[in-house]
Structure 1
Amino acid sequence: MIFKSYIDFWKHTFDFSGRSTRSDFWVPFLIHIFIFLFVFYFSAVIQIPLARYVVLLTMVPSFTTAARRLHDTNRTMLFAILFPISAIAAPYGLIAGFIGIFAWHGTDGDTTVGIVLVISILCLVFGTIIFIYCLILFVLPGDKEPNKYGSGGSCLLFNSNE
């Protein structure tokens, strides 16, 4: 099942339609974490930035798999778009907010720095909320019956047990 999920990940690179099971999403996700860690470590040793190419190579199939996983739970792929944005916005909001606190204190309450501080805190809060919500959606079981996105994914697993 692990190999099938990983092969399907690459076979359906440009397939936005249909549905994917939890294993179709999580198996490649976890395999890529190990690959990224190995490539990141190896590229640090040889001092060549190879990790960015691995990210670029897996970006489109990861997005389409996330969209199909959300379709399995009868949700739109909007959350597949918001997930990576929130994964970037939350840490940058934390860093900018942390720096902004010290900058605002050093400028005696300058409004420009205060506005940047508020925006960074909003990025942190909303980015974290959206990120956690998307992770919950990826963990939720899929619909056991056909939905508006088709009859694949968890629906096929349910029908095979009857």
Structure 2
Amino acid sequence: MIKAYIDFWKRAFDFRGRSTRPDFWWTYLVNVIIMTILVVFCILIPLFSNVDFNDPALLNNPADLRQLIMGYAWPVMLFGLIELIPQLSLQTRRLRDAGFHPAWVLLSCMGFIPIVALFSIFGSIALLIMSCMPSKAEPQTVFNQAK
């Protein structure tokens, strides 16, 4: 597990190679654990210990509540930005290893376009299914032509 996570960071900008299912899923698990710890310790605990939710002024003003949450959420957003490119490269390598074209990774990027954000949910499900597929043998090539 640790080897897969170290490899995740070492190959952060390697969009050419291949990654196995265990490499992908161990890294995914570690990132989920780190993100959960950040959310609990940086957002939930400070938010619930410092805010009086019985204060009607806070609950009636969503802008103040949003500003308060964003004040606590910056470590979570920073980690998400730092791991964005390595996660895309890992997903690209995993798709290639499963025998799919790497351009399928664009399904996960569609959430940034507001009109097609709903399709991003379906795209994420499709990527999840593709990531679960077993590895395919790499085609043997001789002088750039498949046998």
Fold conserved between structures, TM > 0.5: yes
CA–CA distance in structure 2, aligned partners of residues 123 and 10 of structure 1: 28
Matched positions, count: 114
Q: CA deviation at 1:22?
A: 0.5
Unaligned runs of 5+ in 2: 47-70, 141-147
Contact 1:20 1:68 in 2 (8 A): yes
Q: Does 1:63 align with 2:88?
A: yes
Q: CA deviation at 1:147?
A: 3.0
Contact 1:22 1:138 in 2 (8 A): yes
**Residue 33 (structure 1) aligns with:** 32
**Residue 12 (structure 2) aligns with:** 13
TM-align CA RMSD: 2.1
Q: CA deviation at 1:123?
A: 4.7
Unaligned runs of 5+ in 1: 93-118, 149-162
CA–CA distance in structure 2, aligned partners of residues 147 and 67 of structure 1: 17
Q: Pairwise mapping of residues 1-162 of structure 1 onto structure 2 (< 5 A)? A: 2-44=1-43, 45-46=45-46, 48=72, 49-86=74-111, 123-124=117-118, 126-143=119-136, 145-147=137-139
What secondary structure sits across from 1:52 in the alignment?
helix
Q: CA deviation at 1:129?
A: 2.7
Contact 1:74 1:147 in 2 (8 A): no
**Residue 109 (structure 1) aligns with:** none
Q: Percent identity between the aligned chains?
A: 31
Closer/same/farther in 2, CA of residues 127 and 59 from structure 1, 3 Å limit: closer
Divergent runs of 4+, >6 A: none
Closer/same/farther in 2, CA of residues 57 and 127 from structure 1, 3 Å limit: closer
CA–CA distance in structure 2, aligned partners of residues 38 and 62 of structure 1: 19
Q: TM-score, normalised by structure 1?
A: 0.62
Larger deviation, residues 75-84 vs 130-139: 75-84
**1:80-130 Cα deviation digits (max 9, x unpaired):** 1212425x67xx7xxxxxxxxxxxxxxxxxxxxxxxxxx6xx753x33332
Q: CA deviation at 1:78?
A: 1.6
Contact 1:66 1:80 in 2 (8 A): yes
